[in-house]
Amino acid sequence: MVYQPHAKPNQKKVKVGAEQTDRYFPLLQGKRIAVLSNQTGIVGKEHLVDLLKRNHFNIVGIFSPEHGFRGTADAGEHVANSIDEKTGIPIWSLYGAESGKPSAEKMNLFDVLVFDLQDVGTRFYTYYITMARMMDACAASGKKMIVLDRPNPNGFYVDGPLLDMKFKSGVGWLPIPVVHGMTLGEMALMINGEKWLPDGRICDMTVVPCKNYTHQTLYELPIAPSPNLPNMHAIYLYPSTCLFEGTVMSLGRGTSFPFQVYGHPNYKGSAFCFIPRSVPGAKNPSFLNQKCCGVDLRNIPDEQIRKNGFDLSYVIDAYNNLQIGESFFTPFFEKLVGVDYVRKDIMAGKSAEEIKMKWFDDVQKFKEQRKPYLLYKE
């Protein structure tokens, strides 16, 4: 599914890092190259891998993240190693195969790693974790890493609690808010600068920044970043509706509008209903083939979603509707939200605004902490 980007009049077109070949081609001359990318690594009309091949660079392997190199696997699904049919280059899966870090043997096969992934700017979207682990692997084995930056479609705000590191997991790796407002290039600089890699390791790294981008640029993605984020509306709602993954609710996986609705077979008083089916990217969704009723968020204007930021009101509504107490939540909820007070406060009947005040100071501190690493105007 393709988005229809529309630039505002007089707005210069954003140029992503990968388009600025003069900035990174010289660093690749005569080197054995590994590429870490997926279906979003598009440069103009071709994939980064095809661009490098066409320019006769020596690509020895492609690392693929969650959802695989072509971006079709389910969330959290084990992705096997394979061969890229188009180029014959081996694909090495980082997801499910080697606990996210390649073997020393693989690391010895290349000199420089080129990283190019489109992120959506939340702590539970796993691509920054893939990047951090690869930074660590490169730092430990003395390899250079080049990060080709891309805009963050949720880069215009910072919101949500900072991760309490006792909840560190595969969906929360660093002490950052739910919505961090940074590009992956900026995040990479912060990981080095804050010494967040194990044993204080530092990765030898070059970031190729975007051109004509600021944090207030409303950047529309040219390609869906993962199977269940099919459009910009889903991407804007995602920071808030992803919390339903830690509850008994369906958030629309198995429909054509994932992350844009929520529902449950026992949700009361709603005329809006949907039936999750087995579809590519959601083979076994919650409540498969069962009628779920609930709330359709597709009609909320994008501007309003952007203005509301990280919004707990959807989860609070569903919690109050089902009236099943603590069994509404699963243990995964804390891994997503990153702290233990949100569940307690929802159960105590606090409003979204009241709970939001609790992380206000942490967000202000984080904004100060990240300042030295920002590449683009706030």
- What does residue 358 show for φ and ψ, rounded to 5 degrees? -65, -30
211 and 257 together in one domain: no
4 belongs to a structural domain: no
Say if CB 49 and CB 83 are below 8 A apart.
no
Same domain, 214 and 278: no
Name, in order, each residue with C-beta under 8 angstroms of 176's C-beta and a sequence gap of 6 or more. Answer: 123, 162, 163, 366
Are residues 41 and 137 located together in one domain of the fold?
Answer: yes
Q: Regarding beta strands 261-264 and 292-296, do their DSSP bridges make them parallel or antiparallel, or are they unpaired?
A: antiparallel
158 shares a domain with 41: yes
> Both 25 and 153 in a single domain?
yes
Task: Name the domain boundary from 221, 244, 264.
Answer: 221
Instruction: Locate 138 and state its tokens.
Output: 């490169």
Which residues in the chain show pLDDT less than 50?
A: 1-7, 9, 97
Q: Rg of the chain over CA atoms, in angstroms? A: 21
Nearest to 65 by CA among 132, 149, 130: 130
pLDDT at 7: 44
Domain membership of residue 324 as a residue range: 232-347
| pTM for the predicted model, two decimal places | 0.93
Amino acid identity of residue 60, one-letter, is: V
Structure tokens, 71: 């971006």
Contact 28, 112 (CB under 8 A): yes
Q: Is the domain of 102 the same as that of 40?
A: yes
Overall number of domains in the chain: 2
CA distance linking residue 250 with residue 273, whole number of Å: 11
* 142 plus 280 within the same structural domain: no
Q: The tokens 């739910």 sit on which residue?
A: 178
Q: What is the pLDDT of residue 10?
A: 55
Provide the pLDDT for residue 73.
Answer: 60
Structure tokens, 367? 């904004």
Do 104 and 188 lie in a common domain? yes
Tell me the three-class secondary structure of the chain, residue by residue: CCCCCCCCCCCCCCECHHHCHHHHHHHHCCCEEEEEECCCCEECCEEHHHHHHHCCCEEEEEEECCCCCCCCCCCCCCCCCEECCCCCCEEEECCCCCCCCCCHHHHCCCCEEEEECCCCCECCCCHHHHHHHHHHHHHHHCCEEEEECCCCCCCCCCEEEECCHHHCECCECCCCEEECCCCHHHHHHHHHHCCCCHHHCCCCEEEECCECCCCCCCCCCCCCCCCCCCCHHHHHHHHHHHHHHHECCECCCCCCCCCCEEEECCCCCCCCEECCCCECCECCCCCCCCCEEEEECCCCCHHHHHHHCCCCHHHHHHHHHHCCHHHHECCHHHHHHCCCHHHHHHHCCCCHHHHHHHHHHHHHHHHHHHHHHCCCCC
What is the spatial order of strands in the sheet that 90-93 belongs to? 82-83, 90-93, 58-64, 32-37, 112-116, 144-148, 205-208
Co-location of 252 and 215 in the same domain: no
The answer on 321 and 284 residing in a single domain is yes
Q: Cβ atoms within 10 A of the Cβ of 46, count?
A: 13
Cα–Cα distance for residue pair 261/286, rounded to 1 Å: 13
CATH number of the domain enclosing 167: 3.40.50.12170
The answer as to whether 152 is a domain residue is: yes
pLDDT of residue 242: 98
Phi-psi region of 29 (alpha: psi -120 to 50; beta: other; left: phi over 0): beta
Same-domain status, 170 and 25:
yes
Q: How far is CA 66 from CA 117, 194, 246, in A?
A: 11, 26, 19
pLDDT of the residue at 122: 98
Q: Is residue 354 part of a domain?
A: no
Please indicate, yes or no, if residue 370 is contained in any of the structural domains: no
- Domain-embedded: residue 136: yes
237 and 216 in a single domain? The answer is no
Quick check: is 114 in a domain? yes
